[in-house]
């Protein structure tokens, strides 16, 4: 935990090495260690967290390619930290919606500790009575996508029969 002096810790990070063609391989990424002070910058409204679970989602494969056309998510840049959804514990907060000790899920780095400067991408976990790892799947981004797709896009009416193929990936499996 952070002390008043901003204790320095080792922070393991997963770095994206270079654009991928085909399936990603272990060598497309590397683990690096850096030093990090466990202290928010003065006046920051960010959140300093200890990451507990990190999600590896299918959309990330496209982020590992060099995209020639704009997409809803930019490509990872070679030499940069891989980012995605995860579950974390708040160590220090400059944001009104989060306090030390809160559990949250949202967009974070693939690293042990992260400084989130966009707290609006994070959601407080109100129900810790299920395994926290569920927030990287069923209760996380794939689950929210499945829920919105089924109820808002499909919008089935009582009595209708709906066919959902699990071949549509993680989201299809959750809807099913």
Task: Name the H helices within the chain.
Answer: 59-63, 141-148, 170-175
| pTM of the entire predicted model | 0.83
* 9 beta partners: 36
Q: What is the pLDDT at residue 1?
A: 44
Of 94, 100, 103, nearest to 124 (Cα)? Answer: 103
Average pLDDT for runs of 10 along the chain of length 176: 70 97 92 94 94 90 87 89 96 96 95 94 89 87 82 88 71 66
Which is nearest to 133 in space by CA: 153, 110, 103?
Answer: 103
Rounded Cα distance between 164 and 150, Å, is 9
Q: What pLDDT is recorded for position 14?
A: 98
């Amino acid at each position: 935990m952070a002390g008043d002096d901003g204790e320095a810790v080792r922070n393991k990070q997963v770095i994206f090495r270079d654009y991928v063609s085909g399936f990603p391989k272990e060598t497309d990424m590397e683990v690096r260690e850096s030093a990090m002070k466990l202290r928010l910058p003065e006046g920051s409204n960010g959140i300093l967290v200890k990451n507990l679970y990190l999600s590896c989602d299918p959309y990330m494969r496209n982020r590992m390619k060099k995209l020639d056309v704009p997409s809803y998510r930019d490509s990872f840049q070679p030499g940069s930290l891989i980012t995605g959804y995860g579950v974390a514990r708040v160590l220090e907060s400059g944001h009104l919606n989060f306090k030390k000790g809160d559990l949250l899920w949202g967009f974070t780095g693939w690293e042990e500790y992260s400084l989130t400067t966009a707290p609006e991408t994070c959601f407080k976990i109100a129900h810790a009575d299920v395994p926290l790892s569920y927030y990287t799947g069923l209760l996380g981004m794939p689950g929210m996508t499945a829920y919105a797709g089924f109820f808002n896009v499909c919008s089935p009416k009582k009595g209708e029969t709906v066919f959902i193929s699990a071949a549509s990936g993680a989201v299809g499996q959750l809807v099913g």
